[in-house]
C-alpha cells in the first residue's frame, strides 16, 4: 500500500523513499512526545495525591512559609538559565513576581518560553525573612491540569450530597424558581449552567458550564447548599468572572485581595480558584456562627453578613452590621436562596 497525502500541494502523489523515512521519524517522535506527556501527567498526579495536595499554593502561603514543605505552584515559565551544573526555571506567578525554581531534571516541554504550567516543588525557608528555595519535583502543563480539575469537579457533582442521593432541579424565570424533585446530582450542573448563561449573556456555554461545575463540585466537597452559593455569586458579581468592585473585590465571589491570599487563591479571576475560595469561606462562616448561635437560620444570616462586611464588623455590631449595603445584600441573598429552594 502506498502512503499518500493531500497536503502542501502534493495531491495524492506517492511519497518518495526519503520523504517516507522523514515522515516515519516525525511520527515516531510525535508518539514518543505524546507518551512522555501522558506519563508526566500520570506521575505528577501520583506525587500530588501522595502529598495530599488539592490546589496550588497562594502567594500569601508562599510568603509566610517556614521550614520545608511540598507545594504546588502555578504560573508561566518564562525561560530557564544554567549556572555551572545547576539549571533553574523562571516562573512568573499570578501576582507578577518571579519565583526561581531549581530544576535538576526538567521535562523537555518546559524548555521553551511562555509555558503555562503547574509545578510541584520542595519549598524551604530556613528563617523569617530568608530567601525561599524551591526545587522542582514534577511538572504538568496547565491545560492538562485544567482539564483534570474540570473532570474532578464533574465527578464531585455526581457524588451524593444528601442522604437521599438527590439534588433538586430548579428552573428559574427572572423573579421566581419552580421546584422539581428527585434530580440526580450529575444533571444539576447543566440546569445551573443554563440559568447562569441567562444571567450573563457574555458567557459562552462552556464558560457557564465551567462555573456551574465548580459551584456544584465545591459545594458538595465542603457540604454547602449549592443554591446558597448560586445566590451569593449572583448577588456578588452577576456571574461575571472578570468583575472588579470599586473597593478592589475580585471575580465571581468578589474576594478581596487579602482574603483571597488567606484562602490560598492565587488568581481570583480564575473561575475554579475563585469559587474554591468562595465556598471555603462560606463554609467557615457557617461553622463559626452555628457554634455561636446554635441556630441554623441565624448562622445563615450572620454568615451572609460576614461575607459582605467581614466577621469583625459582625462581632462589633453583635449581629448584622447597620450598613445599608450589607443589610440590602443580606436581604437579597436570603430572597434568592429562598427562591432557588422554591420557597416564598
Map residue 327 onto helix, strand or coil: helix
- Buried/exposed code over 130-159 (b: 16+ C-beta within 10 A; e: otherwise): eebebebbbbbbeebbbebbbeebeebbbe
Report the DSSP beta bridge partners of residue 42.
none
Residues forming the active site: 236
Parallel/antiparallel/unpaired status of strands 98-102 and 67-83 = unpaired
**87 with 113: CB under 8 angstroms?**
no
**189 with 209: CB under 8 angstroms?**
yes
Phi (first) and psi of residue 206, to 5 degrees:
-65, -40
**77 with 110: CB under 8 angstroms?**
yes
Which grid coordinates are listed for 310? Answer: 467581614
Parallel/antiparallel/unpaired status of strands 115-125 and 67-83 = antiparallel
Amino acid at each position: 500500500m502506498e502512503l499518500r497525502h493531500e497536503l502542501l500541494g502534493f495531491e495524492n502523489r506517492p511519497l518518495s523513499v526519503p520523504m517516507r523515512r522523514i515522515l516515519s521519524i516525525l511520527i515516531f517522535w510525535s508518539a514518543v512526545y505524546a507518551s512522555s506527556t501522558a506519563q508526566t501527567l500520570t506521575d505528577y498526579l501520583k506525587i500530588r495525591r501522595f502529598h495530599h495536595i488539592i490546589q496550588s499554593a497562594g502567594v500569601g502561603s508562599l510568603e509566610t512559609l517556614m521550614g520545608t514543605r511540598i507545594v504546588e505552584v502555578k504560573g508561566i515559565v518564562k525561560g530557564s538559565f544554567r549556572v555551572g551544573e545547576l539549571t533553574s526555571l523562571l516562573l512568573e506567578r499570578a501576582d507578577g513576581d518571579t519565583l526561581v525554581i531549581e530544576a535538576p531534571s526538567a521535562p523537555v516541554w518546559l524548555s521553551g518560553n511562555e509555558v503555562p504550567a503547574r509545578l510541584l516543588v520542595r519549598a524551604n525557608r530556613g528563617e523569617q525573612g530568608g530567601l525561599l528555595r524551591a526545587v522542582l519535583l514534577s511538572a504538568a502543563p496547565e491545560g492538562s491540569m485544567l482539564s483534570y480539575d474540570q473532570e474532578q469537579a464533574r465527578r464531585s457533582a455526581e457524588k451524593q450530597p444528601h442522604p437521599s442521593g438527590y439534588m433538586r432541579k430548579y428552573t428559574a424565570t427572572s423573579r421566581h424558581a419552580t421546584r422539581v424533585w428527585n434530580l440526580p446530582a450529575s444533571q444539576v450542573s447543566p440546569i445551573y449552567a443554563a440559568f447562569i448563561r441567562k444571567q450573563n449573556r457574555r458567557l459562552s456555554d462552556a464558560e457557564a458550564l465551567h462555573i456551574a461545575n465548580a459551584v456544584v463540585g465545591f459545594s458538595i466537597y465542603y457540604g454547602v447548599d449549592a443554591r446558597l452559593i448560586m445566590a451569593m455569586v449572583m448577588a456578588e458579581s452577576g456571574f461575571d468572572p472578570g468583575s472588579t468592585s470599586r473597593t478592589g473585590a475580585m471575580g465571581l465571589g468578589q474576594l478581596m485581595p487579602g482574603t483571597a491570599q488567606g484562602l490560598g487563591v492565587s488568581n481570583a479571576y480564575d473561575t475554579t480558584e475563585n469559587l474554591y475560595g468562595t465556598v471555603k469561606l462560606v463554609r467557615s462562616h457557617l461553622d463559626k456562627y452555628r457554634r455561636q448561635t446554635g441556630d441554623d437560620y441565624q448562622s445563615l444570616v450572620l454568615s451572609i453578613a460576614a461575607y459582605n462586611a467581614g466577621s469583625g464588623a459582625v462581632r462589633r455590631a453583635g449581629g448584622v452590621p447597620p450598613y445599608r449595603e450589607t443589610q440590602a445584600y443580606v436581604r437579597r441573598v436570603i430572597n434568592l436562596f429562598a427562591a432557588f429552594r422554591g420557597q416564598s
